[in-house]
Amino acid sequence: GCKDNINTTIINFNNEKMQITWATRQLFPNENVSFSYTFDEGKHKVWKPCTTYLLDQDYNSGCLFKTEGPTLAISIRNNNGSEELFCKKLKSDFYIKPNRPENVTFFWEEDTVTVSCKKPERAAWCLRLELQYKSKFDKEWQSRMSKCCSVGEQGFDPRKCYSFRIRLSRLVPYCNVVNYSSDWEAETFWMNGTLLDSCDDDITSQSNTVIILSCLLAALLMMLILLILLCKWQRVQTAVLPAIPDPKYLFVDLFNDHNGNVQEWLDKNDHVVLQTKLEYEEPESITEAESQQEDGKNSDKQGPLEKIFTFSGAAENSDGKAAQIACLLPASNTTASFAAFNILMNDDIYVML
């Protein structure tokens, strides 16, 4: 009789190829067995030897051959074929493992997604389409199964990125004696109805947005700090280093109205010069100037020029008042004479002694 008391694994790949495997090291240690098969029925069977063996450490552990019918008989014999070690009859249609879903489409409508695939040409009623999905916040897959070849689910958050995968499964026990499913179709990533390369793109996009906003905020804060410091620096600079008036604007009328004639200008603007001098001197200098002015009043009456300048032939009194002469700016490239001094006035309206 036929010995069928050993375990074998039988897979009919989409009713196209058969694969029969066995645990050769446990069942047939150190023996290279031979395999044969037939799809014929009745007494006149034609047995075909295996042409494509699967190996386990150089020992035959399985056979791969073409599916040629719904009824299959297999036989395993010793190396020389003199003894049958295993035989079995089966319905090949009960061991079908379907192919992956083909032409998969995703249809989004608000928070609902419908996934469809191409309907197989034969026995589509035996198939179920399984959808699995999870967001980046989920650890486990959520499953949804429907008849071939469309499945829908709702409740998707448009703010989350989801991973999707689908496969086809054979019904047990109506169509299969073994619960075989296809391999998973390639995983896809969706967010709010938009296909992404991966859910990492969503995380990267959010990270980039946070970085850009942080940089803009830091730049605005830096500009505000610089503006505050600039305002404070201007106040400090004004308090510590007050503006020094340009003396050339005090003597504009000397050159415009009097053509550089110092004596004429002094006669007309004696009180203006004195007032300006008092305004821009330090308090101690103002007090000193007032004291000197009072001394001048008590002395013999002198001309307007002698009120401001006092020169001696030997330049005995060459104190700070002599420096004030440099502030009087005559016309360019002219020479003015005061007492025993000849003063040269150049284009830069500085007085050179």
20 domain-assigned: yes
The pLDDT value recorded for residue 353 is 43
Mean pLDDT of the chain: 77
Identify whether 275 is part of a domain. no
Nearest CA to 74 out of 97, 101, 99, 47 is that of 47
The answer to the question of residue 130 being in a domain is yes
pLDDT of 308 strictly over 80: no
The pLDDT, as a whole number, for residue 304 is: 44
Q: What is the pLDDT of residue 270?
A: 64
Q: Containing domain of residue 39, as a range?
A: 8-97
Average pLDDT for 51-77: 93
Q: Is 188 inside a domain boundary?
A: yes
Q: Is residue 259 part of a domain?
A: no
Q: Which two tokens stand for residue 181?
A: 């499913």
- Residue 213 — very low, low, confident or very high, per pLDDT cuts 50/70/90? confident
d(CA 264, CA 274): 16
Same domain for 81 and 29, yes or no, is: yes
Question: Has residue 17 got a pLDDT over 80?
Answer: yes
Same structural domain, 115 and 182: yes
Instruction: Render pLDDT for 162-184 as a digit per residue (tens, 0 to 9).
Output: 999 999 999 999 999 999 999 99
Statement to judge: residues 92 and 112 lie in one domain: no
Which residues partner with 165 through β-bridges? 132
- Decide if 320 contacts 277 (C-beta within 8 A): no
Quick check: is 65 in a domain?
Answer: yes
CATH number at residue 68: 2.60.40.10
Final residue in a domain of this structure, among 173, 196, 219? 196
Is it the case that residue 129 has pLDDT exceeding 90?
yes
HSE of 264, CA atoms in CB hemisphere, 13 A? 10
- pTM, 2 dp: 0.55
Q: Higher-confidence residue: 229 or 273?
A: 229
Domain shared by 111 and 65, yes or no: no
Q: Is residue 230 part of a domain?
A: no
pLDDT at 14: 93
- Could you say which of 140, 169, 196 is where a domain stops? 196
Q: Are 190 and 106 in contact (CB under 8 A)?
A: yes
- Cα–Cα dist 88/36, whole Å: 11
Q: Is residue 120 part of a domain?
A: yes
User: What integer pLDDT is reported at residue 58 of this predicted model?
Assistant: 87
57 plus 119 within the same structural domain: no
243 — pLDDT class (breaks 50, 70, 90): low
User: At which of 196, 217, 246 does a domain end?
Assistant: 196
pLDDT reported for residue 263:
75
What pLDDT score was predicted for residue 122?
Answer: 85
214 pLDDT band, cuts 50/70/90, is confident
Residues 90 and 111 in one domain: no
Please state the domain count of the chain.
2
Indicate if 129 and 113 belong to the same structural domain: yes
Q: According to the model, what pLDDT value does residue 196 have? A: 92
In this prediction, what percent of the chain has a pLDDT beyond 70? 66
**In terms of domains, do 116 and 188 share one?**
yes
Return d(Cα 329, Cα 338) in angstroms, integer. Answer: 14
